[in-house]
Structure 1
Amino acid sequence: MRTGSETTEPHPIKANIVLIGALVANLGIAVAKFVAAAISGSSSMLTEGIHSLVDSGNQVLLLYGQHRAKRPPDALHPFGYGRELYFWAFVVAILIFAVGAGVSIYEGWRHIREPEPLRDPLINYIVLAVAMLLEGTSWAIAVRKFDRERQGAGWWRAVRRSKDPTTFIVLFEDSAALLGLIIAALGVWASHALGDPRIDGLASIGIGVILALVALLLARESKGLLIGESADPDLLAGVWSVLDDYPAITSVNHVRTVHTSPEVVFVAISADFDDSLPMGDAERLIERIEADLSARFPQLTSIYVRPESAECAVRHPRPVLRPV
């Protein structure tokens, strides 16, 4: 009996304007910050330059991950390469922690131990103002995109439910960048106002701590996607609802799903069919179920239906939708 259907091509992963916009902004900001740091000798400005450079590298890696994830299935990877994007998202989290946070904290500690003489901070303020404008623009684009995707759900719940790491990584990176700019500006101002260059080093450490916290959060979310997360509860409920429309199904034992990329879901269904149903009719019924599910939920590119008696199957309860 044929119990599965599968499309030959995975869902396309769309080019991300959020990533491209963030990359262009961060490259320009990084150059400006390094120039300002060289002129002023500011530790927090140097840290901010490293931060922007790391962010630029992260966007390149995510774009590369998107490109690699578009490859079609083959004999070695029959469900495609979509989850490679999750691998590169995890690498990004590691880079933020190891390079961004690590270097920032080290630079801050070094400037506290060996403070440099204060110089004219004007160039710092100019660069920080321009950087805040560019980062704010990138942040606003990421917020608008994420706001459309969350569909009324709370922000934190939307992050936990999101299967596309590119959106929430850029959102968190830009949020951390804006906080870092504010801390850097306060550090530069306080260093000159109080005549103590060590304050600038403390600001650098503060930026590093923020990056470390963001990196740990991103690593946690990316790890879940890399291991394999189930589909959104709304999609699961929709699959169960479709199965309810078939009287010949006496019991649904379980519906198991896993994302193989942000927009592609594998689903395996175990159902108990009416014992009086002839085998030929059961095959045609399974074909109709698969066609129905594919039509209603295009992201279900691999659908497998397994006839299994309720007594022998491992049963999973029907998901209960929570209010957003």
Structure 2
Amino acid sequence: MSAESHGTKAIIAALFANIGIAVTKFIAYLLTQSSSMLAESIHSVADSGNQLLLLLGGKRAKRAATPEHPFGFGRDRYIYAFIVSIVLFTVGGLFALYEAYHKWGHAGGITSWQWVPVTVLVVAIVLESISFRTAIRESNLVRGTTDWVTFVRRARAPELPVILLEDLGALLGLVFALFGVGMTLITGNGRWDALGTALIGILLVTIAVILALETKSLLLGESATPENLKAIEAAIVAGPEVERIIHMKTLHLGPDELLVAAKIAVNARERADEVATGINAVEARIREAVPIARVIYLEPDIYDAQKAAQAS
């Protein structure tokens, strides 16, 4: 099963969780006028919109190649993931910081429906934990033995890292909101509520910046993972057709589509038809070793050791 299908499951789980949580948070805000509840309401609305954007990006990426876009639309998934980071930064993070600033200057305690925000936040933490667990489970099926930081930084499919960071941010945001609301109820001082809102804003801005940097790298074009590079190199030189790899470059056209371009050294005494047959065999080995290597360009050449030494 591809990383896309695992990512879709995590997106759908997060979407349903966030829609329900957003409604309950907003009702709690209307009853209590808590700035932490308002910030968390907007946060959940932004997350719900982000999940819809990721689903839309996945759908648009499946469009067939056209003469104007001969390599297809796989990078649409990167574009929509980048938009997600912008939405999280502006709608989620900056709004929370503004609301914290506003609340700090007009601090007031929570005087009515005091049990509502605590109840809503506790229930939301449970629901977000379920969503986060789904994201972790689906990510574990893809990341293998890679540690979490490396997985987020090196994943070529953007959906799972985005959902992981969003769910983590949502859980931490709920904890900050519970802290702000709880201290406000205990002390009667609304500035605790403002502090919790500020912490939510700082958290969301930080996550948005991380997502933006990672998806920017994907948009610029990243090579195959080190594991796939080794597998491709081994597949090229596994048979008698190739003496050595002179140089090779790879590029992700999308999360599940890889371009491989290599100049390979062949036997100078082989006929053109033998070289062509050998190249076909090498391409077949590459696709067997790395199925996402769908676009392969191999250029045969004669290796000149003296020229190679001068070039290096």
User: What TM-score does the superposition give when structure 1 sets the normalisation length?
Assistant: 0.90
State the AA in 2 paired with 1:26. Answer: N
- Paired with 1:257 and 1:97, the residues of 2 have a C-alpha distance of 32
Q: How big is the shift at 1:117?
A: 4.1
Partner of 2:33: 41
Say yes or no: does 1:70 pair with 2:65: no
Change (3 A) 1:236 1:122: same
Structure 2 alignment gaps of length 5 or more: none
User: Structure 2 CA distance, aligned partners of 1:46 and 1:96?
Assistant: 15
- Give unmatched runs, 5+ long, in structure 1: 1-10, 318-324
- Any runs of at least 4 consecutive aligned residues in structure 1 with deviations exceeding 6 A, and if so which? 312-317
Which has the larger share of helix?
Answer: 2
Q: For 1:94 and 1:37, how far apart are their aligned partners in 2?
A: 25
Counterparts of 1:216-255 in structure 2 under 5 Å?
A: 216-255=209-248
Who is 2:84 aligned against? 92
Q: Which amino acid aligns with 2:191?
A: R
Which residue, out of 248, 262, 269, partners 1:276? 269
* TM-aligned CA deviation for residue 246 of structure 1: 2.6
> Which amino acid in 2 is paired with 1:215?
A
How far did 1:192 drift?
2.0
**Secondary structure, aligned partner of 2:243:** strand
Deviates more, 1:247-256 or 1:48-57: 247-256
Structure 2 residue aligned with 1:18: 10
Q: TM-score, normalised by structure 2?
A: 0.94
Deviation per CA, 1:11-55, whole angstroms, max 9, x where unpaired? 995371111111111011001001001101100010000000000
Which of 49, 55, 58 is 1:57 aligned to?
A: 49
Q: 1:110 aligns with which of 98, 102, 106?
A: 102
Alignment partner of 1:123 is 2:116 = yes
CA distance in 2, matches of 1:57, 1:266: 32
Residue identity matched to 1:61: L
Query: What RMSD over aligned residues (CA atoms) do the two structures have, in Å?
Result: 2.0
Instruction: State the Cα deviation string for residues 119-166 of structure 1 (Å, max 9, x = none).
Output: 232000111111111100000000111122111111111112211111
Residues 314 and 31 from structure 1, CA distance in 2 versus in 1: closer, same or farther, beyond 3 angstroms? farther
Whole-angstrom CA distance in 1 between matches of 2:302 and 2:202: 54
Q: What is the one-letter code of the residue matched to 1:46?
A: L
Which structure is richer in relative contact order (CA contacts within 8 A, separation 6 or more)?
1
Letter in structure 2 aligned against 1:49 = S
Residue identity in the other structure for 2:149: W
CA distance in 2, matches of 1:313, 1:148: 42
